[in-house]
Every structure is written in C-alpha cells, then in structure tokens.
Chains A and B, each alone.
Chain A
Amino acid sequence: MYQTTYHRASSVDEAASLFGKSSEAKFLAGGQTLLPVMKQRLAGPSDVIDLSKIKDMIGVEAAGDTLTIKAATPHYDVATSDAAKKAIPALAYLASLIGDPAVRYRGTIGGSIANNDPAADYPAALLALGATVKTNKRSIPAEDFFQGLFTTALEDGEIITAVSFPVPAKAGYAKMRHPASRFALTAVFVAQTKSGEIRVAATGASQSGVMRVGAIEAALKANWSPSAIDSVSIPASGLLSDIHGTSEYRANLVKVMAQRAVAAAG
C-alpha cells in the first residue's frame, strides 16, 4: 500500500471539510473494497477519510411507505434489521448474501453503491425498487445515480448519507454467487410497486453495470409468474464474458434468476 494519511470524521460536515483540505482524498466506509484496491496499489489516495464512526450515518428506519438505510450501515445490520425484514424482506435477504460474515460486519451500503461494482448486489435493489440516494448536497434517483462501470453521479467530495426505498407490494432477489469472490455471477431483483409498476434489475450481467430488463418487465406485467419469463429472449450482446461465464451463459442466468426471484417474491 502507498503512504496515506488516515482521518476519522465525527460528522458529515467534518468529513466534507477534510476532503476539501486534501489533495487526493478518498472516503473510507467499511473498507472491504477500497482497502484491497489500495493494497494492490491500484489506488493511492493521499488521505482516507473514515465515515464509519459518524453516528448520524448508521441505522435502518421505517416510516410510512419508506425504508431508509443510512449510508454507513453495515450489511449485517441490514440483514438482521427487524424494520428491513418487515418492510422489504428481499432487501434484508440481499444483504445476507454479500461477501461472508466478516465482510458483512464491515461493508456498508454507501460504500457499495459509491463503488458501483458491476457485480455488486445493492445496485440491483436500488434500481428495481426505484430508490433515492441522499447525499450531503442533494437527492439522486437510482436511475440517474448509476452511470456505468464503477461510475456514479457523485461529484468530487460528495458524501452519500442514506438511501430511501419505497416499500413495494412485492419483491424478490435471486443470485448466482461466484463461489470464491461471492460477487454475483448474475443476480436479479424484481419488484412490483404499490402502484402496480413492475421493475426488474440485473447485476453482474451487463458490460455497462446494473441494468433494467425491459423484456422481463413486460412479460411480468402481462402475467406475474415465473413461467411468464419462459418465452423471453435476452440478447447476449453487451453482456459480460469472462473465464467464469460467457455472455450467452449470463443471458440465460438473467432469465433463470428472474424466475427464481419472482418465485421468491410470491
């Protein structure tokens, strides 16, 4: 790891001000991605600003038809949160599939979405549920937030403070896990909003990162059942292809995971 200077922020304002005073700072939440990247010297920030001890940034709250997860909440807390399990069980289930238990104690939702790994879990949930990303400057709809591989709408120094999820009528998540990295080889989140809209998002599949799957949304709108997806054809073009799976394999996984997600949603 290159030399760096560690700062622990006690408030969002302090974190923003520390960022302004540094030459090439990075925000550090759980560090389960940033630290491995720094250890490989693929990143060498002059300063790291730890957000994980900011009390206002930790917690899960349900109010009316909205579930809010503050940005520095670890995956373990989401997976075991009574509020999350009651409001959006598929989201708590998704959190329980990230990494392994030790990673889930440290990794956070804010860190995951700020990094926007094309195979990360949370981006699929945000996109399918129509969530809103709250930052210290503004609110950003999930549609606008994710902008391709490892790219988001965040400006330099902008800090994610929370994510708000509208509580859906139904939702389900199904994931084919890579057995070593535990990232999604492909995973699909399906949701039926309270107003009847069907939204389906796939992660781990597209070369452009998390994506909506319009063909499956249309099939489910006509008939909300796993079998409705049987006749859908997902084109392999634009999908990821690597030693773990070809784009054709992933195209099929999008269908199969969507079917399992619908079955799980009920």
Chain B
Amino acid sequence: MSTVKLTVNGKAVSVDVEDRTLLVHVLRDHLNLTGTHVGCDTSQCGACVVHMDGKAVKSCTMLAGQADGSSVTTIEGIAKGDELHPMQAAFRDNHGLQCGYCTPGMIMSAIDIVQRHHSQGSGGQLDEATVRQELEGNICRCTGYHNIVKAVLDAAGRMKVAQAAE
C-alpha cells in the first residue's frame, strides 16, 4: 500500500491504494469520478483519457503512483459551474456523440489537440485532416467520427475566441 497525493480538478486529494492500482481506478473507485471510462483496458480506445499536468494521458495505462504529486483534470473538471467547456458545448451542438461512452475521452483528447496547436503558434488553425489524425488514439463505435471532427473544429474556433477575450 502507498499513499498517493494528487490535485484532481483543482482539489488536493490523498488516497491509500495498493501499488498495482491504476490511475483510472483511483479516479473512478476512490474519488467517484466515474465520467472517466474504462473501454478496452488495452491502451487503444482512449475512453480513459484525462489530463495529467496539462497533457492527455491514458489513465488505464498509468499506475496511480506514477501520478503521485501531479495535477489531474477529468471530464468533471472542465465546465465552469453550469457553463459547459467550449469543447463540451461543441459536441452537444454538433451531435458529436451517440451512446456517449467514448465522449469523455474524446473531449479530453480534443482539448489537448486544440491547446497543443494553439501553443505551437499555428494560430489554432486546425484542419480536418489534422483532427482526424490526432484523434487516432480514441475509438468511437457509433458516430463514424464525422460529427466528432466537426465538433472539434467548431470548438477550436470557440476556444480561440475565448483565449483572445481573456
């Protein structure tokens, strides 16, 4: 057993877990943050993606101990109160989900893609081909991806406007 200290969605937490515990199980089973999903459990589907210190990682492929001392953001931590994150709003407006199982991971990966391209100085001008390529670690079995890609491109514009306004 080890004590793992994390900042999750801005709140300091401490959990005592077996060393073999995966980050996703700390989030779901110990902190009751069940928005992060376990899909394939083999690092391929991306349903478990969260942000660790600002980067999208697969929380089913990390020991909780590896995340000790890190800041973790889950799907529960991105809205401001009742106001959805622009990526969440864009998924809703563009019908970017059907069953919704992959959606939390899709949204966390998509935010990472947009932030990465903003910070790389491309001015957030994401194109469809780039979004499709960079969503390769997230699998959706319902939508055929078309509306997911539309949502990410829509949100990239909204996030740029929001960033400019700050």
- How many angstroms from the CA of A31 to the CA of B52 in the assembled complex? 15
Does A81 belong to the interface (CB within 8 Å)?
A: no
> Are A105 and B55 in contact, with the CB atoms below 8 A?
yes
Segment among B41-49, B72-80, B149-157 that sits at the interface with chain A: B41-49
In chain B, positions 43-90 with a C-beta closer than 8 Å to chain A are: 43-44, 46, 49, 55-58, 61-63, 65-66, 68
- How many angstroms from the CA of A205 to the CA of B112 in the assembled complex? 34
- How many angstroms from the CA of A32 to the CA of B46 in the assembled complex? 13
Does A181 belong to the interface (CB within 8 Å)?
A: yes
By a CB distance below 8 angstroms, the chain B residues around A52 are: 66
- How many angstroms from the CA of A101 to the CA of B41 in the assembled complex? 17
Q: Given A4-B20, A31-B66, A101-B113: A180 and B44 within 8 A (CB)?
A: yes
> Are A2 and B20 in contact, with the CB atoms below 8 A?
yes
By a CB distance below 8 angstroms, the chain A residues around B41 are: 39
By a CB distance below 8 angstroms, the chain B residues around A5 are: 19
How many contacts between A and B, using CB within 8 angstroms? 78
- How many angstroms from the CA of A6 to the CA of B2 in the assembled complex? 9
Does B137 belong to the interface (CB within 8 Å)?
A: yes
In chain A, positions 1-47 with a C-beta closer than 8 Å to chain B are: 1-6, 8, 28, 31-32, 35-36, 38-39
Interface residues on B, range: 20 to 34
Does A123 belong to the interface (CB within 8 Å)?
A: no
- What residue in chain B is nearest A40 (Cβ atoms)? B42
- How many angstroms from the CA of A76 to the CA of B61 in the assembled complex? 17
Q: Mask for A98-135, Cβ within 8 A of B = 1, else 0?
A: 01111101100000000000000000000000000000
Interface size on A (CB < 8 Å)?
29
Instruction: Name the contact of A102 in the complex, choosing from B20, B42, B109 (C-beta under 8 A).
Output: B109
Does B134 belong to the interface (CB within 8 Å)?
A: yes
- How many angstroms from the CA of A181 to the CA of B44 in the assembled complex? 7
> Are B61 and A36 in contact, with the CB atoms below 8 A?
yes
By a CB distance below 8 angstroms, the chain A residues around B56 are: 101-102, 105
Does A221 belong to the interface (CB within 8 Å)?
A: no
In chain A, positions 41-57 with a C-beta closer than 8 Å to chain B are: 48, 50, 52
Q: Given A101-B112, A103-B58: A32 and B43 within 8 A (CB)?
A: yes
Q: Mask for A131-160, Cβ within 8 A of B = 1, else 0?
A: 000000000000000000000000000000
Does A212 belong to the interface (CB within 8 Å)?
A: no
> Are B19 and A36 in contact, with the CB atoms below 8 A?
no
> Are A31 and B18 in contact, with the CB atoms below 8 A?
no
Q: List 16 A-B contacts (CB under 8 A).
A: A2-B20, A3-B20, A6-B65, A31-B61, A31-B63, A32-B61, A48-B63, A100-B137, A101-B134, A102-B46, A102-B109, A103-B43, A103-B61, A106-B62, A181-B44, A182-B136
Chain A interface residues (CB < 8 Å from chain B):
1-6, 8, 28, 31-32, 35-36, 38-39, 48, 50, 52, 76, 80, 99-103, 105-106, 180-182
Sort A-B residue pairs by CB-CB distance and give the 9 closest, nearest first.
A100-B137, A6-B65, A6-B19, A1-B20, A105-B55, A100-B136, A102-B58, A102-B56, A102-B137
